[in-house]
Amino acid sequence: MELKFHYFINILQKHKMFLILLLLFTIAFIVRIIRVAYPPHIISDEIYYVTAARSIIYTGHDPNLVHPPLGKYLIGLGILIFGDNSFGWRIIGAFLGSIIAPLVYLIGNKVYNEKVGILSGVFLLIDPLTYAMSCIAMLDIYLAFFITCAFLAFVYQRYFISAALFGLACSVKFSAIFSICGVMIYLIYIRKWELIQWFVIIPPLIFLIIVLPIILAEGIGKWFVYTLFYLVWHFALNAEHPFASRPEGWLFNIKPFPLYLNANALIAIANPFLYPLVLPVSIYVAYLVLKNRLECIEMLPVLWFVTQYGFFFLLPRTTQFIFYLLPSVPVILLIAARGILTLLEVFSKKFMRT
């Protein structure tokens, strides 16, 4: 009996990483799939993206050129597999949103240590913004997924794959360009000039491949004019909206965005207890890195946060919403976990001395 027990323990230790990944994904997916079909009708901005996905499936025409098509392709994939119903609209987003937690665990494990990886993965399981955006057929969860994948590939030095994933992220929303800037700043900082070309060349090529069906359907002239128009529109939109909010309030949950209000409401809401921790911890980590007291790779999450979140401050656009923070949430929780565990370590050492 004792031999069997030790054998079981050895199996667990040998496959520990896989089991952690599986557990994080399974919990996240179960929580999401329970409500993913509810409500059974279109809510909030689903009207734009579900309608566009239907049109792409049945006519090859994208009536919503405000954003690139990949997110709408993925919504359409759910419709093709599971039917044109609320489950079909949302299931791919719920599935990919559930993968973000194990992805963040892998990033944390590589950049910091296993404890940081596990804690940040757990934070993702209980994160209200990631949960809400995983249960609705909008584009932001796909953007967050591909950006997180791209940074995971980068920290494991799969630079070509990382650049391709950034191209996929840009094919969901143009704001993925912010994160590409973060990677390029990091490469400049560590003087790996030869790698910058991948992140200049590959993302646009992937983007063009993804939008090619739309170009062929709409005509290159129409597509180009509309894309240019909407790029300018994204940067300068100033329209009244009751739930528009400035980025300085996102970390503190100023003005959440109601996606569906009912007895079982769905609201895009930040975690005001964890998110603000990213500010002091990022400053502390940047200080240590610049003083050569840490490995340079620790600067990468800081640059992910600073560019993907910080560039929204530079936009002349005033009509912004709290769910724009979503692609930054994985790294916010990663950095917060790093800060919390560092503080606990410091306090435990002081306690042991006394």
Distance CA 354, CA 348 (A): 10
Question: Is 33 contained in some domain?
Answer: no
SS3 for 14? helix
Average pLDDT over residues 56-68: 89
At residue 312, the pLDDT reads: 93
- Here the tokens at position 65 are 């050129």
In the chain, what percentage of residues exceed pLDDT 70? 94
Contact 119, 104 (CB under 8 A): no
Which residue from 199, 258, 236 is spatially nearest to 314, judged by alpha carbons?
A: 236
**Residue 266 phi/psi, 5° resolution?**
-125, 115
At residue 118, the pLDDT reads: 96
Question: Is 12 contained in some domain?
Answer: no
Q: What is the pLDDT of residues 232-263, one digit of tens each?
A: 888 787 878 888 999 999 999 999 999 998 87
Question: Is 257 contained in some domain?
Answer: yes
At residue 158, the pLDDT reads: 96
At residue 348, the pLDDT reads: 74
Question: Is 1 contained in some domain?
Answer: no
Question: Is 13 contained in some domain?
Answer: no
Residues spanned by the domain of 79: 41-353
Residue 8 has pLDDT above 60, yes or no: no
Question: Is 11 contained in some domain?
Answer: no
Distance CA 38, CA 259 (A): 12
Average pLDDT over residues 71-90: 97
The answer to which of 21-35, 174-188, 281-295 has the lowest mean pLDDT is 281-295
At residue 9, the pLDDT reads: 58
pLDDT band of 353, cuts 50, 70, 90: low
Which residue from 344, 341, 348, 335 is spatially nearest to 289, judged by alpha carbons?
A: 335
Residues paired with residue 257 on neighbouring β-strands, in sequence order: 268
Contact 305, 331 (CB under 8 A): yes
Q: What is the mean pLDDT of the chain?
A: 91
Question: What single string gives the DSSP state of each residue in 42-108?
Answer: --TTHHHHHHHHHHHHHHS--S-TTS-SHHHHHHHHHHHHH-SSHHHHHHHHHHHHHHHHHHHHHHH
SS3 for 34? coil
Average pLDDT over residues 131-145: 97
Question: Is 27 contained in some domain?
Answer: no
Question: Is 6 contained in some domain?
Answer: no
Q: What is the pLDDT of residues 260-299, one digit of tens each?
A: 988 788 999 999 999 999 999 999 999 888 887 667 899 9
Distance CA 301, CA 107 (A): 9
Structural domains of the chain, count? 1
